[in-house]
Amino acid sequence: MNTLITIVGPTAIGKTALSIQLAQHFKSDIISCDSRQFYKEMCIGTAVPDPDELAAATHHFIQNRSVFEDYNVGSFEKDALQKLDALFEKNPIQIMVGGSGLYVDAVVKGFDYFPDVDPKIREALTEELNSSGLSTLQHKLKELDPTTYQTIAIDNPHRVIRALEICIGTGLPYSSFINKDKKQRNFKTIKVGLTADREIIYDRINRRVDIMMENGLLEEAKALYPHKTLNALQTVGYRELFEYFDGNWELDFAVSEIKKNTRRFAKRQLTWFRRDQNTVWFDFQDDISIIISQVSELIK
């Protein structure tokens, strides 16, 4: 049977390296489901695999879109499934990797159905965002749907508004529509999770941000600054530097906020991925032979 090995875990834990090792072992391709690595204008701040990593295995959905395109999780679900159909014809084992839980679930389980709501609700929420700030909407979501508040990218205004418009428009929590209608897939999924002690994860995040800054993240963000309102740029690592360019923050403070918000994001990632009891978890330092052995047993 076709098998999709899906590698999940918090940011900076080593998912890319593991995906390449598994792809080389199983002679498979890699589907990226990192919702920010799609964009060709964002490279340093999204930790896109470097040229050597990209050459070590065939990757798909890496920097194949522009921030100026309207691309969402529903579009990705369709594109990824089409790509997997083609890849499975060559090899019944394929790899998917990424820290975007919603995008992982879209491919593995199917995109959730949400009823249509009055577009005026979104307009009103957008006005409230502009007038009162994101924290006001975050507080409202926490009251209406604490489950979603704990699991979505709460620092992403687009995600917060989307959840709120469903809550307000339907009178039901956004989370109540998640995973209701299961869609059949022509493959089975093996989820491999990478993790570490919290202090180690946080230290790896802090060091990664420092390396990003050394590698030119400030210049990359400055080039994107004129387009800062685009949805794709409502992203940790860019949003904080936009505050610096706006003159609201000192650079050192902006960098410290990137680290803090990335740590918060990693915590939400773990909360999301740990909901799936079928995920097989490994320590990020486990020997690759151990992981390959266990995954191979699950494939049988």
Q: Would you say residue 16 has pLDDT above 70?
A: yes
Task: Count CB-CB contacts under 10 A for residue 227.
Answer: 12
Q: Are 8 and 279 in contact (CB under 8 A)?
A: yes
Give the CA diameter of the chain. 57
DSSP β-ladder status, 30-32 and 93-97: parallel
What phi and psi values does residue 216 have, to the nearest 5 degrees? 110, 25
Architecture of the CATH domain 119-177: Orthogonal Bundle (1.10)
Q: Are 261 and 215 in contact (CB under 8 A)?
A: no
Mean pLDDT of 74-95: 96
| Domain definitions of the chain by residue range | 3-112+180-299, 119-177
* Torsion region of 50: left, alpha or beta (phi above 0 gives left; psi -120 to 50 gives alpha): beta
Known binding positions for ATP: 9-16
Q: Give per-residue pLDDT as tens, 212-229.
A: 999 999 999 999 999 999
Which has the minimum average pLDDT: 177-191, 221-235, 273-287? 177-191
CA pair distance 22, 233, nearest whole angstrom: 31
**Fold held by 3-112+180-299:** Rossmann fold (3.40.50)
Known binding positions for substrate: 11-16
Q: Give per-residue pLDDT as tens, 122-144.
A: 999 999 999 999 999 999 999 99
Task: Count CB-CB contacts under 10 A for residue 132.
Answer: 12
Query: How sure is the predictor about 70, in pLDDT bands with cuts at 50, 70 and 90?
Result: confident
CA pair distance 5, 295, nearest whole angstrom: 8
Known binding positions: 9-16
Residue 90, classed as helix, strand or coil, is coil
